[in-house]
């Protein structure tokens, strides 16, 4: 496992920027990092609700959406890629706020620890800085998507029907199918399924940190029906983020922002606009 002390990734002039879109024109800047299988646009509804008080930047992480695919998955490298883009764009005049959900929450935590000068306030959504024992759910999802025959697919609706038995949850299917796009006369995935499938142990893990801490305010948001944030993870969170506070959203699972968007938005707005 790579440690946080290893050299950060050097991004050359030839390195493509991460795909991003802006929502809102005024207020302090909030950067959103999505979870596994997601895209920056997953936070569009939230970003619109935060405007005009806050301006949002929705980033596609590597191997997702409109961003480039990589040859391996590494949280340190992903955090450094995002940091370099922020440093040359929205954080060039000062630190920004950062939100990360699930896998994106781990990227966000690593970024704040390695590049604290870029981040003012951090919101970590339904994820903890620990290794997850099992990634079986995601192994099932990726395997199911990989087996979908795109060559004979006529529409996204047909894909939804084909996925109903192996993935019965309608919201989950809808979320996954956002990455299925038409490409000429056929369809393709805007997510690097092969790399992500083989990298599930790395995605479920978390880099090892020793002396690093992020001293800024941190909001730890948990879904009450999710098991990604547990009492026994609090010590690891406080060790890295001493100014952390936990907010649990009732009747929400892992996809807190999609299941309870109004409550989620209110919690973020209160945190990022606090004096």
SS (H, E, C) 14-27: CCCCCCEEEECCCC
What average pLDDT does the segment 195-219 reach?
A: 96
What average pLDDT does the segment 153-169 reach?
A: 94
Which residues are registered as beta bridge partners of 223? 249
Q: Which of 31, 23, 18 is nearest to 85 (CA)?
A: 18
* pLDDT classification of 16: cutoffs 50, 70, 90: low
Residues above pLDDT 90, as percent of the chain: 87
Q: How far is CA 265 from CA 65, 120, 203, in A?
A: 23, 18, 27
CA angle 93, 94, 96 (to 5 degrees): 120
What pLDDT, in 10s, does the model give residues 110-137?
999 999 999 999 999 999 999 988 888 8
Active site residue 134: no
What pLDDT, in 10s, does the model give residues 30-75?
999 999 999 999 999 999 999 999 999 999 999 999 999 999 999 9
Buried b (16+ CB within 10 A) or exposed e, 67-90: beebeebbbbbbbbbbbbbbeebb
- The alpha helices in the chain, defined as continuous H runs, are 44-50, 75-88, 103-114, 136-146, 156-163, 170-177, 193-198, 200-204, 234-240, 256-259, 261-272
Active site residue 102: yes
Catalytic residue among 102, 120, 128, 199: 102
Is there a contact between 58 and 41 (Cβ–Cβ < 8 Å)?
A: yes
Domain range list for the chain: 20-132+205-272, 136-197
* CATH code, residues 20-132+205-272: 3.40.50.1820
What is the DSSP annotation of 125-184? ES--SS--S--HHHHHHHHHHHTS--TT---HHHHHHHHTTT---HHHHHHHHTTEEEET
CA distance 183 to 212: 44
Catalytic residue among 88, 139, 146, 194: 194
CA distance 159 to 180: 9
pLDDT at 9: 37
pLDDT at 1 over 80: no
Q: How far is CA 182 from CA 43, 55, 142, 153, in A?
A: 22, 31, 19, 10
Q: Which of 220, 162, 154, 199 is nearest to 64 (CA)?
A: 199
Catalytic residue among 34, 97, 115, 254: 254
Place of tokens 């087996």: 147
- Greater pLDDT, 110 or 274: 110
Active site residue 101: no
pLDDT at 151: 87
Buried b (16+ CB within 10 A) or exposed e, 246-260: ebebeebbbbbbbbb
Q: What is the pTM of this model?
A: 0.92
pLDDT at 11: 38
């Amino acid at each position: 496992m790579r440690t946080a002390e290893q050299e950060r990734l050097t991004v050359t002039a030839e390195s493509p920027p991460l795909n991003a879109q802006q929502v809102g024109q005024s207020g302090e800047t909030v950067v959103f990092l999505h979870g596994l299988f997601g895209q920056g646009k997953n936070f569009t509804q939230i970003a619109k609700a935060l405007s005009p008080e806050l301006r949002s930047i929705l980033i596609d992480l590597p191997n997702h959406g409109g961003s480039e695919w990589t040859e391996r998955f590494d949280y340190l490298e992903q955090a450094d890629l995002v940091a370099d883009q922020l440093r040359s764009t929205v954080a060039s005049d000062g630190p920004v706020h950062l939100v990360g959900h699930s896998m994106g929450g781990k990227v966000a935590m690593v970024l704040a620890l390695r590049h604290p000068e870029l981040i003012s306030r951090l919101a970590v959504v339904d994820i903890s800085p620990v290794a997850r024992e099992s990634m079986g759910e995601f192994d099932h999802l990726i395997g199911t998507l990989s087996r979908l025959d795109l060559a004979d697919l006529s529409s996204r609706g047909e894909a939804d029907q084909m996925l109903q038995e192996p993935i019965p949850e309608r919201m989950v299917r809808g979320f996954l199918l956002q990455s299925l796009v038409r490409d000429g006369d056929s369809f393709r995935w805007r997510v690097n399924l092969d790399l992500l499938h083989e990298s599930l142990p790395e995605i479920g893990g978390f880099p090892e940190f020793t002396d690093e801490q992020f001293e800024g305010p941190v909001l730890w948001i948990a879904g009450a029906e999710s098991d990604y944030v547990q009492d026994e993870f609090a010590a690891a969170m406080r060790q890295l983020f001493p100014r952390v506070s936990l907010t649990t959203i009732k009747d929400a699972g892992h996809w807190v922002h999609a299941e309870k968007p109004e409550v989620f938005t209110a919690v973020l707005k209160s945190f990022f606009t606090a004096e």
